[in-house]
Amino acid sequence: MRQVVLTEPKKLVFREVPDLKAADLKPNEILINIKHIGICGSEIHSYHGLHPATFYPVVQGHEYSGYVVAVGKDVKAVKPGDKATARPQLVCGKCNPCKRGQYNVCQNLRVQAFQADGAAQDYFIVPEDRVVRIPDDMPLEYAAMVEPAAVGAHATSRPHEIKGRNVVVSGAGTIGNLIAQFAKARGAKRVVITDVSDFRLAKARECGIEDTINVAKRPLADALKEIFGDEGFSVGFECAGVEVSVRSLMELIEKGGDVIIVGVHAKDPAISMFYLGEHELNLIGSMMYRHEDYLKAVEEIEAGRIHLQPLISNRFPFEQYDDAYKFIDANRETCMKVMIDL
């Protein structure tokens, strides 16, 4: 079968490896024929050698979907012919976070495509506890986007009750877009998304996020005042990964508000701890997802409350995996989710 490996920054190697077969399965394992793989921002960092926790060489691919080919004798969650995806988290199950159910922050966490081999190959084996069955009527390419959607599901579960509250999302890339959609789906009173790209903000509006602000063209404080009036907002999501984004949310959110950090920061932002304390702000981290977030993502996508089609901006065949990265580099402003088709 075909497989693509990132052997070092900017070097993808295509190779033929032995097929995985039903006979290889343990009782709790599932063999999936991979059909779609999404390229995420973290993998772009790995491609450029900018992800500090990528162990080279590593097989690419952690946002994926495919058809179940075979299952081990004890598997009940899926059957051959089903559409499926799976979480890419490898956890120890023994550390304190794992014991209390927070395995997304396992002290020994490994993530496929970064610290363990991913699914960029024709066939892939996953254990039953990480697999998620996809409804028959859901497009298989949408199943490959359950992973980033689950990031949105988890992040919007982090603040204390989002229903009925005004929300600002800073950063309108794929993750910020999905978080804004989930905030709306969870009953937020009004959701605003900000960015410096008119293209990304237009995509947000396509996905049903009506209130958008280009912070390169308008002062954020003035624009938020126009939208929220004296009511303001009490929940902010930082998805841009830049200092000015964190600082703006902290400065403009109402006292006692929740600021959730989702973006990956290449450089630690300088923020005022005095201001944080005086305003009694809740600065909350959000790390990946848990299984219930995958299930929530599937539920919301199937219900039509999460819109994915506008986010799929480009497609490449498996043989052009390297070209996909080069295309992303050359078209950063107009790329959302780039999909690899097998």
Tokens of 305: 């409350």
Helices (H), the chain: 41-47, 96-99, 140-143, 146-155, 174-185, 198-206, 220-228, 243-252, 273-278, 291-302, 321-330
What average pLDDT does range 22-50 have in this prediction? 95
Q: Is the pLDDT of residue 72 over 80?
A: yes
- pLDDT tens sequence across 204-231: 999 999 999 999 999 999 999 999 999 9
DSSP code at position 270? -
C-alpha span between 14 and 12 (Å, rounded): 7
What average pLDDT does range 124-151 have in this prediction? 98
Query: Is 3.40.50.300 the CATH classification of the domain at 153-285?
Result: no
Residue 14 pLDDT class (50, 70, 90 cuts):
very high
Give the pLDDT confidence score for residue 160 in this predicted structure. 86
C-alpha span between 168 and 306 (Å, rounded): 18
Q: Is the pLDDT of residue 62 over 90?
A: yes
Closest by CA position to 179, among listed 228, 135, 235: 235
What average pLDDT does range 316-340 have in this prediction? 96
The average confidence (pLDDT) of the chain is: 97
Q: Is the pLDDT of residue 331 over 80?
A: yes
- pLDDT tens sequence across 144-161: 999 999 999 999 999 989
Give the pLDDT confidence score for residue 268 in this predicted structure. 87
Q: Is the peptide bond before 88 cis (omega within 30 degrees of 0)?
A: no
Q: Is the pLDDT of residue 264 over 90?
A: no
% of the chain beyond a pLDDT of 70: 100
29 within 8 A of 126, measured Cβ to Cβ: yes
Give the pLDDT confidence score for residue 51 in this predicted structure. 87
Give the pLDDT confidence score for residue 50 in this predicted structure. 86
What average pLDDT does range 244-255 have in this prediction? 97
C-alpha span between 144 and 259 (Å, rounded): 28
Give the pLDDT confidence score for residue 220 in this predicted structure. 97
Give the pLDDT confidence score for residue 5 in this predicted structure. 98
- pLDDT tens sequence across 169-191: 999 999 999 999 999 999 999 99
The amino acid occupying position 121 is: Q
What average pLDDT does range 125-134 have in this prediction? 98
Give the pLDDT confidence score for residue 73 in this predicted structure. 97
Residues of the chain with CATH 3.90.180.10: 2-145+308-341
Residue 266 pLDDT class (50, 70, 90 cuts):
confident
Fold category of 2-145+308-341 in CATH? Quinone Oxidoreductase; Chain A, domain 1 (3.90.180)
Give the pLDDT confidence score for residue 33 in this predicted structure. 98
The amino acid occupying position 271 is: I
Give the pLDDT confidence score for residue 265 in this predicted structure. 79
Q: What pTM, to 2 d.p., does this model score?
A: 0.96
Give the pLDDT confidence score for residue 272 in this predicted structure. 92
